[in-house]
Amino acid sequence: MTEALIVIDVQNDFCPGGALAVPDGDQVVAPINAMMARFDTVILTQDWHPAGHSSFASTHPGRGPFDTQEMPYGQQVLWPDHCVQDSDGAAFHPDLRTDGDLIIRKGFRPEVDSYSAFFENDQTTPTGLEGYLRTRGITDLTLVGLATDFCVAFSALDARRLGFSVRVVPEACRAIDLEGSLEAQIENMRQCGVEFA
């Protein structure tokens, strides 16, 4: 009862045909569904941006998707508009099992993005996930979903910083890989004690 599966952002906009499609993003659905039965606790996260979110390139005149912008909390990649609240793109992939214990929505504050399942990108504003896990007595986390080098990695690194045991399952993840970001984040995760299986 001390283990949880955390399914990160398996949403239409991150799958083929979506606004911010991760290559082969839909290929994670079957392995994730198969894994769910092995965990007593399953938590899903959902990117949930208001229209005009500050991380959207469209809100910064003259800037394009994948440019970077300095924000009060640090450097931010600017993204195509994606996972806008209540849109089809924000919905979970239709084949994904969503009968988990909890859904954590993140990125809903207009002024700050949120990659991690635990904190906004300011690294201080919590999502509430840590408290939920602590009160359930959960200590060991398995992370899967999209994208390996952004939301999965940020979640894994924060979980380790908070003292959780963390495992990432590459078969059930896919990456965006911006200019070597996948290799860099895998190394960051290994350095922080994240296991891969």
Q: Which residues are catalytic?
A: 9, 106, 151
Task: Identify each DSSP E strand in 10-121 by its residue range.
Answer: 41-47, 68-71, 74-77, 102-106
DSSP secondary structure string for all residues of 132-143 = HHHHHT--EEEE
| Rounded Cα distance, 18 and 147, in Å | 14
Long-range contacts of range 60-64, CB-CB < 8 Å, 24 or more positions apart? none
157 CB neighbour count, 10 Å cutoff: 21
Residues near 187 by beta carbon (within 8 Å), at least 6 away in sequence? none
